[in-house]
């Protein structure tokens, strides 16, 4: 399952600050318990097995599980706890593909999402349910990146992130590695090494892939020719663009226009010689 078309619903959300006598009574859940430990320590019994959880851990207890919990009275747990339901677009129950206990750490992005969700949940302004559901999807996406999707590294070096933001905001431009290294505040050689470590591709390979993805989106809009899409993505040589597009996507860019019934016959013949 790709987990793309999922519909999450929040039954309960709480920023829990445990007391020394805090307890979850033993019972079978009719929801998914998704709890992120912000600080402290707790002990969860899940289907008869005791699990110790600590700061930075994620608990994902499937619907239908037997669950109880207590906190360590000398190291009180603070957590973000959600009881959620997850459905596909036909309304069938979906379970999350995460381990019972995972260590996520304390990334700023995740804390920011939970803080915003807390704010929306407590304000309860008109439409807050929609905003809360959107934030839950963003939180779930973060966990999918960390625990499920292959080849995704959540904790990308901030210097590389800065260069990535610049690239994605200027896909119509040409880029020099020296320019991107300067933006990241690194030497050219170290920037290239660090970039490949986090992105799994060289700077040039990554830029070409993003430009071609952008060109594909432009062509799918049905508003531009192949030549116009190439220019909008910084390619002056349409032959090179077409060759690179086919190498990355496995088919020529003209195919998108043909499938949409918008191909320019002359352009098609030029690109497919």
What CATH number does residue 76 fall under?
Answer: 2.60.120.280
Please report the pLDDT score of residue 132 as a whole number: 93
Helix and strand totals (H; E) in the chain:
10, 9
Indicate whether 236 and 265 sit together in one domain. Answer: yes
Give the H or E element holding residue 125: none
Specify whether 25 is located in the same domain as 133.
yes
Q: Measure the CA angle with vertex 225, ends 222 and 227; round to 5°.
A: 150
Does a structural domain hold residue 152?
Answer: no
What's the pLDDT at 269?
Answer: 45
Segments in 124-253 forming alpha helices (H):
128-147, 158-169, 177-184, 188-199, 203-220, 226-232, 238-249
CA dihedral 154, 162, 219, 244 (to 10 degrees): -90
Half-sphere exposure for 206 (CA within 13 Å, toward CB) = 21
3-class SS of residue 72: strand
Q: CA-CA distance, 153 to 88, in Å (whole number)?
A: 26
The strands making up 6-17's β-sheet, listed across from edge to edge, are 6-17, 78-88, 32-39, 57-61, 101-103
Domain that holds residue 111: 6-147
| pLDDT score for 1 | 66
State whether 122 and 187 are in the same domain. Answer: no
Confidence bin at 270 (pLDDT 50/70/90): very low
Q: Which residue has the tokens 């998704």?
A: 34
Number of Cβ within 10 Å of residue 109's Cβ equals 13
From residue 29, how far is each of 45, 63, 122, 257, 261 by CA, in Å?
Answer: 12, 6, 24, 51, 52
Q: Note the pLDDT tens digit of each residue in 52-90.
A: 999 999 999 999 999 999 999 999 999 999 999 999 988
Q: What is the pLDDT of residue 145?
A: 86
Q: Do 11 and 119 have their domain in common? A: yes
What is the tally of structural domains in the chain? 2
- Residue range 112-125, pLDDT digits in tens: 999 999 999 998 88
Whole-angstrom Cα Rg for the chain? 24
pTM of the model: 0.68
112/245 same-domain check: no
């Amino acid at each position: 399952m790709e987990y793309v078309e999922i519909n999450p619903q929040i039954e309960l959300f709480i920023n829990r600050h445990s007391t020394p006598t805090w307890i979850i009574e033993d019972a079978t859940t009719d929801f998914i318990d998704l709890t992120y430990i912000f600080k402290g320590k707790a002990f969860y019994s899940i289907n008869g097995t005791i699990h110790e959880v600590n700061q930075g851990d994620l608990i994902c207890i499937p619907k239908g599980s037997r669950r109880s919990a207590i906190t360590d009275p000398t190291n009180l747990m603070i957590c973000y706890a959600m009881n959620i339901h997850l459905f596909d677009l036909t309304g069938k129950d979906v379970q999350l593909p995460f381990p019972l206990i995972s260590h996520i750490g304390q990334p700023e992005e995740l804390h920011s999402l939970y803080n915003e969700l807390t704010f929306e949940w407590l304000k309860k302004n008109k439409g807050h349910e929609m905003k809360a559901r959107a934030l839950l999807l963003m939180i779930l996406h973060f966990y999918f990146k960390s625990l499920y999707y292959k080849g995704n590294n959540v904790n990308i070096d901030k210097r590389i992130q800065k260069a990535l933001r610049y690239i994605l905001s200027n896909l119509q431009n040409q880029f020099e590695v020296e320019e991107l290294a300067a933006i990241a505040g690194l030497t050219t050689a170290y920037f290239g090494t660090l970039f490949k470590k986090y992105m799994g591709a060289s700077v040039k390979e990554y830029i070409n892939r993003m430009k071609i993805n952008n060109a594909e989106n432009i062509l799918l809009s049905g508003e531009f020719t192949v030549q116009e899409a190439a220019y909008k993505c910084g390619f002056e040589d349409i032959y090179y663009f077409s060759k690179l597009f086919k190498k990355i996507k496995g088919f020529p860019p003209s195919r998108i226009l043909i499938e949409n019934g918008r191909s320019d016959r002359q352009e098609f013949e030029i690109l497919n010689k």
